[in-house]
Amino acid sequence: MNTTRKVSIIVPVYNTELYIRDCLNSIQQQTWTDLEIIVVNDGSTDNSLSVIQDIATNDSRIIIIDNPHKGTSAARNAGLKIATGTHLTFVDSDDMIIPSYIEQMLSAIGDCDICFCGHKVWNQKSNTYVSVKGINAGYEGTDIYDHIPDYHYLIAGIGWRLYRLDTIKNNNILFDEDLFYTEDTLFFYNLLLHTHSIRCIKNTGYIIRRQNPQSITAQYILDIKQESNIIKQFKDLAYQSKNKTFRKEMQYRQIQELNWAVRKIYYHKIGYQKANRIFLSLTKHFITRNNLILLNMNMTVPSEKITVISQFIRSFLPSYLYNRFRHIISGEKYYRGI
């Protein structure tokens, strides 16, 4: 077996003492053995660090970084800074990978910058699996952007892909440490701008563990500064590329993020005046500097998706916010309510 390619695996850990052993055991059992396993403890307050240290005593490939709690992005960046492999992948500390995962991905990636695969979602409570299969395809040059709709559904999340490490380091691609969600998607799209070729395979070698659901309150944290920052970053990414499909994708991501934000506005039952200010602060990033012209959303998002999004939020969104949202995605160029 060719062992000239070493794979760095970054595992950020925060309070997952119940799952980290399964995660690391799945990595240790890889058929590809030339690994650099970088485990970053992000200030866990449970026994996660003790479990990691116990496992590491019998495996010299494991490197432990023990940092104060700064969030997942900071933990991944800490791992990136010391990674020395030819290739890189991320595994969340409550997830697992099948024994042949790394070997399959290395075999497929060749000289490409990124390799995708599918994944499985394991519902631990019911012990059932849902497979999200990848596709067999390869893209180079502008085809990477033109075919984004083919692999769009695989982009969310940070697992189930293998990267050339030098592509990341040479372009100084890092996770935004000011964000605690959507940072993985922004990382990927930033990297995609510097990618020359990608490969996709059907394998479902990455396993996402769904344990006890997160509380609704945690899912609906409303941080307007973050929401605004994310929407603006998607806009900035759109302007960094001349490819029409990539720009459409970034504008679609803006709408997705805005949709999520209005769900949170509704959940928190925010009053009219405050909700109106929040909505305006978010939608300002859809507007160019010239005459407050909105990005022409009906040209960038398939009409059926607009309909789905519009009808979805209409079921619970107060009419004043719904009308503002509908105004943006309707394709009208001028928004005079500002």
Asked, for residue 336, whether it belongs to a domain, the answer is no
Whether residues 130 and 220 fall in one domain: no
Whether residues 261 and 145 fall in one domain: no
Whether residues 203 and 76 fall in one domain: yes
Whether residues 38 and 146 fall in one domain: yes
Whether residues 230 and 121 fall in one domain: no
- pLDDT for residue 124: 80
| pLDDT at 47 > cutoff 50 | yes
CA 232 to chain centre: 16
Asked, for residue 144, whether it belongs to a domain, the answer is yes
Whether residues 222 and 202 fall in one domain: no
- 164-169: Cβ within 8 A, 24+ apart: 164/86, 164/87, 164/88, 164/109, 164/112, 164/113, 164/114, 165/8, 165/83, 165/85, 165/86, 165/87, 165/88, 166/86, 167/113, 167/114, 167/191, 167/194, 167/195, 168/80, 168/88, 169/80
Q: Cα–Cα distance between 290 and 248 in angstroms, integer?
A: 20
Asked, for residue 63, whether it belongs to a domain, the answer is yes
Asked, for residue 337, whether it belongs to a domain, the answer is no
- pLDDT for residue 102: 97
Whether residues 289 and 157 fall in one domain: no
Whether residues 231 and 183 fall in one domain: no
Domain end (from 210, 244, 267): 210
CATH assignment of the domain containing 17: 3.90.550.10
Asked, for residue 242, whether it belongs to a domain, the answer is yes
Domain end (from 160, 178, 210): 210
Q: How many Cβ atoms from other residues are within 10 Å of residue 212's Cβ?
A: 8
Asked, for residue 290, whether it belongs to a domain, the answer is yes
Whether residues 45 and 102 fall in one domain: yes
Whether residues 225 and 322 fall in one domain: yes
How many domains does the chain fold into? 2
- pLDDT for residue 144: 93
Q: Give the tens place of pLDDT for each residue, 102-157.
A: 999 999 999 999 999 999 998 888 888 888 888 999 999 999 998 988 888 888 78
Tokens of 303: 């009409």
- pLDDT for residue 200: 95
Range(s) of the domain holding residue 310: 216-329
Q: Give the tens place of pLDDT for each residue, 175-198.
A: 999 998 889 999 999 999 999 999
Tell me how far CA of residue 181 lies from CA of 1, 6, 187, 226, in angstroms: 39, 29, 11, 9
Q: Give the tens place of pLDDT for each residue, 13-35.
A: 999 999 999 999 999 999 999 99
Asked, for residue 338, whether it belongs to a domain, the answer is no
Asked, for residue 335, whether it belongs to a domain, the answer is no
- pLDDT for residue 172: 96
- pLDDT for residue 164: 97
Band (pLDDT 50/70/90 cuts) for residue 321 is low
Whether residues 77 and 181 fall in one domain: yes
| pLDDT at 272 > cutoff 90 | no
Whether residues 206 and 233 fall in one domain: no
| pLDDT at 173 > cutoff 90 | yes
Domain end (from 210, 227, 260): 210
